[in-house]
C-alpha cells in the first residue's frame, strides 16, 4: 500500500468521504452502465439492492435493537454519513464501510443510499472496514483479533504497519492477535462479554491445561481485572506446586519399590487408589512365598 493510502487510513474515514452529495435520480438508463454514471470520489445516490456486503467485514454481530433505533433516526434525518463502496461490475457494488447503516436503511425502507465509490484492493477494503469499526468502538476483541490476523496472514503486513494504519501501538496489535490462542471456552466467554480482554490476557499467562479451570473461577467469583492478576499469580504458583508434589511422589514411589524389591528379592509394585493404595509383591512358587514371608517377619 502506498504512503498516500496509509496516510488516508491514519486520518480516518473523513479523508475518504467528501461532504458534498451529488444526487443521481435516473439510475436505469440502458445507454450508460450504472457504475460509469457515478462520480468516483463524490457522494452519489445508489440503488440499495445493487450493494453487496463486504466479505472482509470483521464484525460478526449486529445488535437488533440498535439497528431499529438507527432505522428510526434514518427515517427522520436520512443517512448523515455516506457509505463507501467499490464497483464490482457495471451494475453491482461491494460495500467497504457502513454495513450497519446499510442494514438500518433497509429496515427504514430506503430504496437508495448515499455512497462514495472508491477503487480499492482487498487489503485496503479490509483496512477500511477495520478502521470504521475501530473508530466507533463497535468491534468485539475477538473480531479485531481475527481482522488483524487476516492482515498478517493474507497480506503479509507487520504488526507495526497495521498499528500505523489503524492508529494503534504495535504492542496493542500483538496483544490483540494473541487472543486467538485462548481455549475455545475462553474465546466464547470473551465473545459473550463474560470476561474482558484484560481477563483474557491473564488467562494466556497460564498453562493451557489450567486456563479453563481459572476461567470458571473468574466467572464464578466475578473478579475484576486487578483481582484476576493477583489470583493468576497464586493460581499459577499452585499449579507449579501441585506438579512438583506429583513429581516428588512418583520419585518416592519408585525408590520404595526399588528398595523393597531388593530386600525381598522379587518384583514389588505400588498401586495408587483414591484412598491410599496397594502393595503388590510377586512370587513364582510356594517355596518362594515361604521365603518372602520369612524375610518379612525377620526369620531369615
* pLDDT tens digits in sequence order for the chain, 300 residues long: 444 444 444 444 444 444 333 333 333 333 323 443 444 557 778 888 888 887 766 666 777 888 888 888 888 888 878 888 888 777 788 887 778 888 888 888 888 888 888 776 666 766 666 666 665 556 788 888 887 887 787 677 889 988 887 788 999 999 999 999 999 999 999 988 899 999 999 999 888 888 998 999 889 888 888 888 888 877 765 554 455 555 666 777 888 888 888 888 888 888 766 566 788 888 888 888 888 888 888 775
Q: Which residues are catalytic?
A: 99
Phi, psi (degrees; rounded to nearest 5) at 265 = 70, 30
The residue ranges of DSSP E strands in the chain, in sequence order, are 21-22, 43-47, 51-52, 83-87, 93-97, 112-117, 268-272, 277-281
Residue 4 is predicted with a pLDDT of 42
In a domain, 169, yes or no: no
In a domain, 170, yes or no: no
In a domain, 24, yes or no: yes
Among the listed residues 156, 163, 219, 158, the one whose alpha carbon sits nearest the alpha carbon of residue 192: 219
In a domain, 26, yes or no: yes
In a domain, 105, yes or no: yes
- The CATH number that applies at residue 58 is 3.90.1530.30
In a domain, 123, yes or no: yes
Contact 7/74 with Cβ under 8 angstroms?
Answer: no
Distant-in-sequence, close-in-space partners of 170: CB < 8 Å, separation ≥ 6: 159, 160, 163
**Element of type H or E holding 74:** helix 64-77
In a domain, 214, yes or no: no
In a domain, 96, yes or no: yes
Q: Which residues of 168-177 are buried (b: 16+ CB within 10 A; e: fewer)?
A: beeebbebbb
How far is Cα 84 from Cα 80, in angstroms, rounded to an integer?
13
Residue 53: domain span:
3-137
Residue 88 is predicted with a pLDDT of 78
- Residues counted in the chain: 300
Q: Is the pTM of this model over 0.75?
A: no
Total number of domains constituting the chain: 1
Residue 122 CB neighbours (<10 A): 12
How far is Cα 99 from Cα 4, in angstroms, rounded to an integer?
25
Residue 182 is predicted with a pLDDT of 93
Q: Is 243 exposed, middle or buried (0-12, 13-18, 19+ CB in 10 A)?
A: exposed
Amino acid at each position: 500500500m502506498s504512503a498516500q493510502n496509509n496516510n488516508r487510513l491514519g486520518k480516518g474515514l473523513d479523508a475518504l468521504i467528501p461532504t458534498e452529495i451529488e444526487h443521481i435520480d435516473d439510475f436505469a438508463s440502458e445507454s450508460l452502465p450504472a457504475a460509469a454514471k457515478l462520480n468516483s470520489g463524490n457522494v452519489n445516490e445508489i440503488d440499495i439492492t445493487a450493494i453487496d456486503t463486504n466479505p472482509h467485514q470483521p464484525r460478526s454481530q449486529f445488535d437488533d435493537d440498535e439497528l431499529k433505533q438507527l432505522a428510526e433516526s434514518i427515517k427522520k434525518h436520512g443517512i448523515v454519513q455516506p457509505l463507501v463502496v467499490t464497483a464490482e461490475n457495471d451494475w453491482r457494488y461491494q460495500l467497504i464501510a457502513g454495513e450497519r447503516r446499510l442494514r438500518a436503511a433497509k429496515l427504514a425502507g430506503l430504496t437508495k443510499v448515499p455512497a462514495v465509490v472508491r477503487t480499492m484492493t482487498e487489503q485496503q477494503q479490509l483496512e477500511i472496514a477495520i478502521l470504521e469499526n475501530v473508530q466507533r468502538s463497535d468491534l468485539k476483541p475477538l473480531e479485531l483479533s481475527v481482522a488483524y490476523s487476516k492482515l498478517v496472514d493474507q497480506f503479509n503486513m507487520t504488526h507495526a504497519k497495521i498499528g500505523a494504519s489503524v492508529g494503534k501501538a504495535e504492542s496493542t496489535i500483538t496483544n490483540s492477535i494473541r487472543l486467538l490462542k485462548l481455549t475455545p471456552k475462553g474465546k466464547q466467554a470473551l465473545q459473550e462479554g463474560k470476561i474482558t480482554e484484560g481477563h483474557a490476557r491473564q488467562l494466556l499467562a497460564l498453562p493451557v491445561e489450567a486456563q479453563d479451570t481459572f476461567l470458571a473461577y473468574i466467572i464464578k467469583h466475578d473478579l475484576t481485572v486487578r483481582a484476576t492478576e493477583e489470583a493468576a499469580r497464586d493460581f499459577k504458583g499452585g499449579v507449579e506446586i501441585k506438579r512438583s508434589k506429583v513429581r516428588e511422589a512418583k520419585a518416592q514411589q519408585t525408590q520404595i519399590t526399588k528398595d523393597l524389591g531388593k530386600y525381598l528379592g522379587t518384583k514389588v509394585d505400588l498401586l495408587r487408589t483414591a484412598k491410599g493404595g496397594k502393595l503388590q509383591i510377586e512370587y513364582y512358587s510356594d517355596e518362594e512365598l515361604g521365603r518372602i514371608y520369612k524375610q518379612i517377619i525377620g526369620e531369615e
